[in-house]
Structure 1
Amino acid sequence: MRAAVLFAGLMTATVAQAAEPIRIGLTSVLSGPTYDRGQSEQYGAQLAVNKINPSGGVLGRPRELYYADNACKLDIGLAGTRRLIEQEHVSVLIGALCTPVTRAIMPVIAEAKVPLVIATSAGQDFVDASGVGGNDYAFKTIPSEVDIAQSLMRWLKSQNVNSVAIVAAADTFPQANALAMAKAAQDAGIRITRQEALDKTTTDFGAVLEKVKAGAPDQVVTVLGPYTAAFFKAYEASGWKVPLTGRIDFAQALAAVSPQFRESDALSDMTGVTVFTPVQQIPVIQDFVANYRAHYGLVPTQRSFFIYEATLLIADAINRAGSDQPAAIQQALKTTTMPSLLGSTYAPDDHNHAHTPLQISAIRGGKPVVIATE
């Protein structure tokens, strides 16, 4: 499977129809150490095509997916995007997973006037740069770090949380989230007692916790990235019972602590905010999870889900436009009201940005469950 995606090649959904196919391009990270992330996007897109093509495709025509491996490198990403547009003649693009590549290709799609659905690059800067006053061919379909922070702080305020400390990795993505969390907390009237950044020089996580503890926050907001395991080991050792929240990888957190700690319900007050989680007990979500597992033998990731719905969103736009011309697709995307399996719709704001619900998760009986939707 991996060998099949190491080159930027054509992947077609085989449909017994003679009609000219509708061409959709996807640029993602399909090689290198994080190739599995792009592969999960590939799986999500193909699952959507498998859903649509057997029932007649779009406008009575099959859809074909064309992939370009951007390898999370600017030169490769730019060349691959131009190939999809100029040689493969795709009508619309999805991409690019790797944030720097997504930024780099935005001028390319604007010049070519080919819509780009940004379904996995999370930055608020894509929202600010799209739609009114910016790139009108870029559409961001997932929440930004600002949306996520606002939802979490709104929920925390509803739970009578009045103060938080923020601990985040010093990497670009966690720090963008930490800044958004700090602003959202202040806007919600939640006091920030301390902010700590973790980097490669951080070796004593217990000392970090002691500094945070001195401010006596009601909860600690975390965006830990590669420091999740070390932080949770130190949290267990500290004996501090302050609830943790934020963008938490529950699987890593639970794996880092001892079985006794897990079974003691010491993490029962821990919460996390996410967009999609396969544990959400909504029938349509569980149907998607079951279908994905049946096809690939894996549990879908957020990326799988985002690309799956982005591919369906494009199909809906083409159907409503009655055309696969890029300009027609662009206008249809601007007026979409297609529902998401998460609830709400993909109706965009003036910046071509959709606002779908977020999930608040917690640990119950040693397993993640969704306890609220924001």
Structure 2
Amino acid sequence: MKKLWMLMLLTALAPVSQAAEPIVIGLSYPKSGAQKWLGLSQMRGALMAADKINATGGLLGRPLELRSLDSAGKAKKAVANVDAFLDQGAVMIVGSATSEEAIAVGQRAEERGVPYFVPLAYGNEVTSRYGHSYLFREGPSARMANNVLMEYLGTQMPNQRYFIITGDDVIRSGGVDSLVSASRSGEVSSPAHYRAALKLAAESDAQILVLMLYGEALTDAMRMVERLRLKERMAVVVPNLSDEAVLQAGPTVMEGVIGSTPWTWRSPEREQNEQGKAFVDAFVKQYGDYPSSVVASTYSAVMQWADAVSRANTTSAVPVIQALEGHRYQLLKDEQVWRALDHQNIQSMFVVKVRKRADVMRDELKQDYFEELYWMESEVAAPTEAEVRLERSLGTR
């Protein structure tokens, strides 16, 4: 007994072992600037993932530590964030708001040998022309959005005249097939460009107005659409439609707008996905809002990286990348896959329509924005491997 007490005393007096060193990941997101509300969603999604991982024992026996820096949606600032994170020991980077930012960060991540996950950037070239082994895009490309919209609009609104405004071009008299060429245009648009284009649209005989605009440009353009009363005589389509855009412009301004999305907060319930339903419930409890597709995309990117780390049993980049390539999984929706060719996340897509304001306001949280109109399976929505290879052959890096 005396020996036992002596052992207990020595154990009590022994120095307490240091806690396991945390695994650091970096979130480079637009906390400020024209895309800041999308950045807030990315922050919430990343925090939800980090909390989930730590609540279930961490990663490889170590806690996960999320660090964040403001990119303001600017490529140069986002690239500097990569270097800052790596100086802090980060082993993974997530976040973006524009294709220019995603491409620049991706190139820096490749140079530094760290996996980079893109939750939001629509340019096809992100995973085609500028794609590489260190870059993974969880969110959809512009072509994925257009593929589902072309099928829906072509069948439900056939033989219509289109007026399409992109970040750097205007198609004044197009058909549904014009969405393909329009999807290759840039994301950056000056107010003078789209305001002048909207005046031309008002003078046209178009039946469908397509706005391939993003962030504050889309919000400003939609307010002008409302002032010009264009929705009274033409359908308005925003190919990459987000909850954040409806929130910023307001449900009255956005009422009736048609667009695409890879996920809505109702997706898990419809598909009886228990993980997805738990995620929605947890988000509503924590933030008092419904999670958007941007939240879900950021959450999924972090969770998928962590899953690959667990399967590879290391945070080293190359084994983690190999664990992701071709990996099929279900998390918040139906089956998704990280295509090995371009690291584009291949997933199903929805066509949605913004509900009437009165219907939105009847909801308890007043943020149930979307009515689901159409669904397309992942293999049909995705660009083909031949299309990706063609774009890579025509592009330069």
TM-score scaled by structure 1? 0.74
> Take 1:19 and 1:230, find their aligned partners in 2: how far apart are those partners?
55
Report SS of the residue matched to 1:318: helix
Report the residue type matching 1:151 in the other structure: V
1:308 deviates by 0.6
In structure 2, the CA distance between the partners of 1:129 and 1:204, relative to structure 1 (3 Å rule), is closer
Q: Which amino acid aligns with 1:221?
A: V
Q: Distance in 2 between matches of 1:205 and 1:315?
A: 45
Decide which of 225, 229, 237 is 2:223's aligned counterpart: 229
In structure 2, what residue type is equivalent to 1:145? A
Amino acid at match of 1:211: S
Aligned to 2:205: 212
Does 1:325 pair with 2:325? no
Q: Give the aligned length.
A: 324
Tell me, what secondary structure is at the counterpart of 2:177? Answer: helix
**Residues 248-297 of structure 1: per-residue CA shift (max 9 Å, x gap):** 5556474138xxxx7xxxx5xx6322223335453545543332122123
Q: 1:24 to 1:346 in 2, by over 3 A?
A: farther
Distance 1:35 1:198 in 2: 18
What's the CA shift string for 1:131-173, capped at 9, x where partnerless?
5xxx2211112111111111110222343623340332x535x
Distance in 2 between the 1:61 and 1:220 partners?
51
Q: Which runs of 4+ in 1 moved over 6 A?
A: none
Q: Does the CA-based 8 Å contact 2:109-2:115 persist in structure 1?
A: yes
The answer as to whether partners of 1:45 and 1:307 remain within 8 angstroms in 2 is yes
Quote the offset at 1:359 in angstroms: 1.3
- Residues 247-258 of structure 1 aligned to structure 2 (within 5 Å): 247=239, 252=249, 254-256=251-253
Equivalent in the alignment of 2:27: 26
CA contact (8 A) 1:293 1:299 kept: yes
CA RMSD of aligned residues (A): 3.3
8 A contact 2:162–2:210 mirrored in 1: yes
* Residue in 2 that maps onto 1:361: 352
Give, as a single letter, the amino acid of the residue that structure 2 aligns with 1:275: P
- CA deviations over 1:32-62 (Å, ceiling 9, x no partner): 4644432321111110111121111222322
Is structure 2 residue 59 aligned with structure 1 residue 58? Answer: yes
How has the CA–CA distance of structure 1 residues 204 and 184 changed in structure 2, closer, same or farther, with 3 Å as cutoff?
A: closer
Residue 274 (structure 1) aligned with residue 261 (structure 2): yes
Highest CA radius of gyration, 1 or 2? 2
Matching of residue 200 in structure 1 with residue 197 in structure 2: no
Match of 1:140 in 2: 137
Going from structure 1 to structure 2, the CA distance change for 1:158 and 1:337 (only over 3 Å counts) comes to same
TM-score (normalised: structure 2): 0.71
Question: Is 1:104 aligned to 2:114, yes or no?
Answer: no
Say if 1:22 and 1:91, in contact at 8 Å, map to a contact too.
yes
Cα distance change, pair 23–272 in 1 and its aligned pair in 2 (3 A): same
Code of the aligned partner of 1:273: S
Q: Compute the displacement of 1:364 (Å).
A: 5.6
Which residue among 137, 154, 159 is the counterpart of 1:157?
154
Which consecutive residues of structure 1, in runs of 5 or more, have no partner in the other structure? 1-16, 189-196
Structure 2 alignment gaps of length 5 or more: 1-17, 181-188, 361-369, 377-397
Change (3 A) 1:304 1:204: closer
